[in-house]
Structure 1
């Protein structure tokens, strides 16, 4: 059903607005939607009244685009009126609930008569009806206001919650900011600690490597040369070393800084600069007159006995890092100990070499028999050991040749070697075979030094006999070259080492020899290598001895000794002493 109202003035407008509200209520439109419809319609009616003229309001039910029914309102100017607002059309649609429709709506007739309109029209001249309609509209308005109050309360509640949330967020942001600052500070502290640890590791690594370099040499001049190479240019721009016992050139005396001289007198490190160094254990001094533009760190080279000298350094930059300066002082202390150790070793080495030369006697001259000997000390240690050789005549005219090796190195081994040599010469005065001589040496050593052992080979040549008598005690076998060029090792079973806690009688062995024969006696340092043992070395010795021609050994036995050593000692580093004795019967 369609309802139409004619509106000529404000009373008609009020009545039409009230009638539209009543019609919407009849069709079950919710109060909120009714209030919205009445408000929108009232606003449009006021605009129409302001424009003037006659207007026509049509309100009816029809199908909506999305399905279901809707209350459709249309406000248009009357066709018989000529107004300024003619042609202005206004319409709106309010969806209707699916239920609660009045029974009269089942009539689908679209009556457009005024009589149908008047049935729902509020009379404009009836104040009571208009008042009732306005009261009903106020009820809808009150309901809307109640809903609005609820929403305002809800908004206020949410506003309070939002405020509290904002306060929490602000507090959280403050905590996060504080945590971020603390984390950044922790990261910075960790970075500083990591850098300090890396610097400390770098200094300790340098100190360890430099100490190893200084201690590998037993030549104090080499240590003095290497020390500046280690420090320049990383830790020092210039390094000067003053050793007290090395005299300066009298024609060109050296002028030294006052801080260097003070360090030599006091034995304490000195720091000479125009600013305080603040170094622990270091005395501050005014800048040097000789070098006023750069700091100087003067550190004495201390030892357990007395200072050896002073190390004077200038920094690679404006000044040293305090930790670097401490490291340099420690390195100087270690350098002083290394130089002192090297000097003491050089002193003992000189004594040992003098003793060694005194113990190795000259070989005797025997008609028809040539002798050649070589002794090479180990490249490590004091260049003195227990290897020894000897050759001497007995009263019966025979020649005794011996080569031996006392366990260990150093002065103690050399002293024991000297005692064995002297004892052997004493025992050889009496008539005794090589085996008997070794047996007596065994008993002598066991009683004199129970914890010291030795090996030896003794060979005896007699001018009236064509035989060679020999005996060995724990020693590598002699090597014999026959006149026809054949070479073999005399590998008859030897006796045990001299000095071991064992009763033994060492046996003699005899070999037939003739002119052109060569007997080679040697110590294990010539043939033994850690990686391969002793047998390959003996094979090389046999090959070297067999490489000579028939007349080469007769011509120059000394040259033959050197030619034998050369292929067997290719390495310049020797862990043990080397001793070689050649006995050649002239052809």
Structure 2
């Protein structure tokens, strides 16, 4: 439903003011909010000013439109020029609307409002706008405060986030450092274990010191010196690779005097359990670390030159522990060498000075094992019987060490005692068999006895489980005396040994030996006997008769040059000549 249209002619400022007052009255009567009225009137005033500024006469059309229910309405205002006066319609075709909460009176559009009343009412609108501005300013202040508090919270949150990020970075760095330290500690422990195994696997002072140098240089030390107090006893001076110290640093002397590790450098090392000293004159540019080598006593001092500007704490702890283990290994090597020397001296004391009977040349060789405590079981002997014949003996006691050497001495003595009665080789072995089974039931032995009589072109022999003798004839042919040997001496079995005879005219050679000469692990004894036979066949009779010792060396060379010996080697070479 639409109310009649109210038209206002606008030709002057007064007309505009009255029209504005009319619109104000309609909106006020219809209950439009003050702020809506203020917006409507402000826009209308601006349009009226523009119209007056363009000149001519204008019409203000006011329409009050009612809703379908008839309770509310809408005020519509539009401006248009009258006739063709003025420059034409407004560019933006002005049209204003304002919602009315309820319907104005029917005559409201025609009721004019006096100008003074409209003027006073305009102040109400201004006051409403100012109140609204005050409210908005209050809201703005409130929001500004909230924004400030929010900004403060955001700044605090950023600070917390940065602190958390910094703490996380520190934790990551700490974890990375801990992982690196753990990995480094693992490498040091692994090296310590490997180095300890390499050092303790040897019983040679020279090998221990050489391995120590190979392991430490250049990763853990630029150079190392080993000062052993009993150096002449410990070290092999013929070995050019063995570490030597001609001048001892003050740190090494202090370590020897105090028994404590010493660190010599221009700056304190701060190493755990290590004393600090001024820089050494022998190494003024790099630090020295002198560590005592201790077992049950102080053996010497290990002096290390730092591979870089300083020694690391963890590395120094590892080096001190390694030096302790080196001291123990050196002490074990020293004790082993003492035992070996004692056993070797005892065994060599049992070896015979060879006689020089007419018609027979003798040469013997005894070579101890190159490694291990394997001295003791092998022996040779050659002596004259009362009837003028000569007995050549070769033997090997099972087992090694001092006990085997003692048993070997008992067998040698008993054999000589039984031979005084001019017993044959078989009879002597039979008696030795009974004696060994009675005195040493836990040990066995092999032996071979050969008897030479002056002027007889034969040899009588008997064997107790021993490797067979090898014979070279004057013409260079070689044969093995492979008659079935008797059982080993000491076997818990009653046994009588048999004598055997072999031709041995002048110019012939008989070789007696122990299994250490011909036996190799995994190969058996037969290939070794074949090599011995070939080496014996390669000799000639003039060589044998001119220098039997050189011939004995020539037999040993092809059999031993390619192998370390884990067993002793005995060789007894007998060569017959014309009386």
Q: 1:191 aligns with which of 144, 158, 176?
A: 176
Cα distance, 1:503 vs structure 2: 1.5
Instruction: Pick closer, same or farther for the CA change 1:15–1:433 going to 2, 3 Å.
Output: farther
Q: 2:319 aligns with which of 302, 305, 328?
A: 328
Cα separation, 2, equivalents of 1:243 and 1:177? 61
- Per the alignment, residue 51 of structure 1 pairs with 50
Q: 1:452 aligns with which of 443, 455, 462?
A: 443
Stretch deviating more after TM superposition (510-519 or 566-575): 510-519
Cα separation, 2, equivalents of 1:438 and 1:240? 56
Cα separation, 1, equivalents of 2:455 and 2:444? 35
Cα distance, 1:513 vs structure 2: 1.9
1:301–1:336 CA contact under 8 A, matched in 2: yes
Is 2:531 the partner of 1:528?
no
2:255–2:292 CA contact under 8 A, matched in 1: yes
- Per the alignment, residue 568 of structure 2 pairs with 577
Matches within 5 A, 1:307-386: 307-312=298-303, 315=306, 319-381=310-372, 384-386=375-377
2:47–2:94 CA contact under 8 A, matched in 1: no
Q: Where does the alignment leave 5 or more consecutive residues of structure 1 unmatched?
A: 17-37, 60-72, 93-120, 128-155, 248-253
Local SS of the residue matching 1:579? strand
Q: 2:494 aligns with which of 487, 494, 504?
A: 504
Cα distance, 1:277 vs structure 2: 5.1
Q: 1:302 aligns with which of 294, 297, 320?
A: 294
Instruction: Pick closer, same or farther for the CA change 1:409–1:174 going to 2, 3 Å.
Output: farther
Which deviations, in whole Å up to 9, do the C-alpha atoms of 1:399-433 show, x marking residues without a partner? 32222112233333222212211111112223444
Cα separation, 2, equivalents of 1:262 and 1:340? 22
Cα separation, 1, equivalents of 2:575 and 2:456? 15
Cα distance, 1:314 vs structure 2: 5.6
Local SS of the residue matching 1:187? helix
Is 2:390 the partner of 1:405?
no
- Per the alignment, residue 103 of structure 2 pairs with none
Instruction: Pick closer, same or farther for the CA change 1:554–1:76 going to 2, 3 Å.
Output: farther
Which deviations, in whole Å up to 9, do the C-alpha atoms of 1:362-384 show, x marking residues without a partner? 33334444433222211114673
Instruction: Pick closer, same or farther for the CA change 1:494–1:194 going to 2, 3 Å.
Output: farther
Which deviations, in whole Å up to 9, do the C-alpha atoms of 1:286-330 show, x marking residues without a partner? 77799888766544333314x334445565555433333333333
Stretch deviating more after TM superposition (340-349 or 189-198): 340-349
2:227–2:302 CA contact under 8 A, matched in 1: yes
2:22–2:111 CA contact under 8 A, matched in 1: no
Instruction: Pick closer, same or farther for the CA change 1:288–1:559 going to 2, 3 Å.
Output: closer
Cα distance, 1:86 vs structure 2: 2.9
Cα separation, 2, equivalents of 1:8 and 1:518? 164
1:271–1:295 CA contact under 8 A, matched in 2: yes
Cα separation, 1, equivalents of 2:334 and 2:192? 22
Alpha-carbon RMSD: 5.6
Is 2:83 the partner of 1:83?
no
Cα separation, 1, equivalents of 2:151 and 2:442? 92
Aligned residues: 513
Local SS of the residue matching 2:377? strand
Stretch deviating more after TM superposition (285-294 or 266-275): 285-294
Cα separation, 2, equivalents of 1:291 and 1:512? 73
Cα separation, 2, equivalents of 1:495 and 1:353? 29
Q: 1:478 aligns with which of 458, 469, 481?
A: 469
Which deviations, in whole Å up to 9, do the C-alpha atoms of 1:56-90 show, x marking residues without a partner? 99x9xxxxxxxxxxxxx998956943334537255
- Per the alignment, residue 407 of structure 2 pairs with 416
Cα separation, 1, equivalents of 2:486 and 2:9? 154
Local SS of the residue matching 2:534? helix
Matches within 5 A, 1:18-417: 48-52=47-51, 54=58, 80-86=83-89, 88=91, 90=93, 124-125=109-110, 180-181=165-166, 183-208=168-193, 210-211=195-196, 215=200, 220=205, 234-235=219-220, 241-244=226-229, 261-271=253-263, 278-283=270-275, 297-305=289-297, 307-312=298-303, 315=306, 319-381=310-372, 384-417=375-408
Instruction: Pick closer, same or farther for the CA change 1:256–1:431 going to 2, 3 Å.
Output: closer
Cα separation, 2, equivalents of 1:548 and 1:438? 32
Instruction: Pick closer, same or farther for the CA change 1:481–1:273 going to 2, 3 Å.
Output: closer
- TM-score, normalised by the number of residues in structure 1: 0.66
Cα separation, 2, equivalents of 1:273 and 1:286? 5
Is 2:427 the partner of 1:442?
no
Local SS of the residue matching 2:176? helix
Cα separation, 1, equivalents of 2:193 and 2:200? 10
2:263–2:277 CA contact under 8 A, matched in 1: yes
Local SS of the residue matching 1:395? coil
Cα separation, 1, equivalents of 2:253 and 2:21? 121
